[in-house]
Chains A and B, each alone.
Chain A
Amino acid sequence: MKYYWDEEKDDCIIKQVSAILSYGYEYMGACSRLVITPLTDRCWITISNALHINLGANPAGPAGTGKTESTKDLAKAIAIQCIVFNCSDQVDYIMMGRLFSGLCQQGCWTCLDEFNRILVEVLSVVAQQLLQVRNALLENKTRFNFEKDEIDLRPEFGCHVTMNPGYAGRTELPDNLKVLFRPVAMMIPNYGLIAEIMLFAEGFGSAKRISTKMVQLYKLSSEQLSQQKHYDFGLRAVKSVLVMAGTLKRANPDMIEDAVLIRAMKDANVPKFLKQDLPLFFAIIQDLFPGIEIKENDYGKLKVTIEKMIDDKQLIKNPTFVLKVIQLFETFNVRFGVMLVGTTGSAKTTSYEILEDTMNYLRENNYHDKSF
Chain B
Amino acid sequence: MVKKIILNPKAISMNEMYGYVNSSQEWFDGLASKVMRLAAQETGDEKTWVVFDGPVDAIWIENMNTVLDDNMTLCLSNGQRIKLRKEMRMLFEVNDLLVASPATVSRCGMVYLTPEELGWRPYVQTWLATFFTDEEIMTPKIKEFLMSTFEATVDPALEFIRANCKEPIKTTDLQQVVSICNYIEGFVDAKKGFKGSEEERIALLNCIFAWSYAWGIGGSLDQAGKDRFD
Contacts and interface: CB of A to CB of B under 8 A. Distances in A.
The listed residue with most A CB atoms (<10 A of its CB), out of B15, B58, B98, is B58
A114 B62 contact: yes
B103 A114 contact: yes
Interface string A326-345: 01100110111111111111
Contacts of A295: none
B32 to A, nearest CB: 12
Contacts of A98: 79
A117 interface: yes
B146 to A, nearest CB: 16
Contacts of B15: 90
A289 interface: no
Contacts of B78: 95
B2 interface: yes
Nearest to B119: A318
A271 interface: yes
Contact of B108 (A229, A337, A348, A363): A337
B175 A344 contact: yes
B107 interface: yes
Contact of A229 (B88, B90, B105): B105
A272 B112 contact: yes
A70 interface: no
B105 A232 contact: yes
A21 interface: no
Nearest to A239: B70
B11 interface: no
B126 A314 contact: yes
Of A234, A240, A356, A360, the most chain B CB neighbours within 10 A belong to A356
B220 interface: no
Contacts, number: 234
Contacts of B66: 84-86, 113
Contact of A331 (B67, B71, B111): B111
A343 B172 CA distance: 8
Interface stretch (B17-25, B151-159, B161-169): B17-25
B90 A336 contact: yes
A323 to B, nearest CB: 9
B128 to A, nearest CB: 10
A239 to B, nearest CB: 9
Contact of B106 (A64, A84, A268): A64
B60 to A, nearest CB: 9
Most chain B beta carbons < 10 A, residue from A234, A272, A347: A347
Nearest to B99: A168
A225 to B, nearest CB: 12
Interface string B55-81: 010110011111111111101011101
A324 interface: yes
B125 interface: yes
B193 interface: no
B109 interface: yes
**Interface extent on B, as a size class?**
35 or more
The A contact surface, by secondary structure, is mixed
Contact of B91 (A87, A117, A338): A338
A82 to B, nearest CB: 10
A169 B39 CA distance: 29
A90 B18 contact: yes
A86 B63 contact: yes
A273 B65 CA distance: 23
Contact of B175 (A69, A90, A345): A345
B112 A230 contact: yes
Given A95-B77, A229-B105, A338-B89, A90 B71 contact: no
B95 interface: yes
A342 B129 contact: no
A351 B90 contact: no
A341 B110 contact: yes
A337 B68 contact: yes
A140 B112 CA distance: 56
B1 interface: yes
Contact of B114 (A332, A346, A370): A346
Contacts of A327: 111
Contacts of B99: 168
Given A86-B64, A320-B118, A348-B113, 12 more contacts: A64-B106, A92-B77, A114-B103, A167-B102, A229-B98, A337-B92, A338-B110, A339-B56, A339-B92, A339-B97, A349-B53, A351-B111
28 contacts: A86-B75, A90-B14, A90-B15, A113-B65, A164-B103, A169-B101, A229-B97, A271-B112, A272-B109, A272-B110, A272-B112, A275-B114, A275-B116, A314-B129, A336-B86, A337-B92, A337-B109, A338-B110, A339-B94, A339-B108, A341-B113, A343-B96, A344-B115, A352-B93, A356-B4, A356-B49, A359-B2, A363-B1
Interface of A: 62-64, 68-69, 83-92, 94-95, 98-99, 113-114, 117, 164, 167-169, 229-232, 234-237, 240, 268, 271-275, 314-316, 318, 320-321, 324, 327-328, 331-332, 334-349, 351-352, 356, 359-360, 363, 370
Interface of B: 1-2, 4, 14-15, 18, 20-21, 25, 45, 47, 49, 51, 53, 56, 58-59, 62-73, 75, 77-79, 81, 86, 88-103, 105-118, 121-123, 125-126, 129-130, 172-175, 178
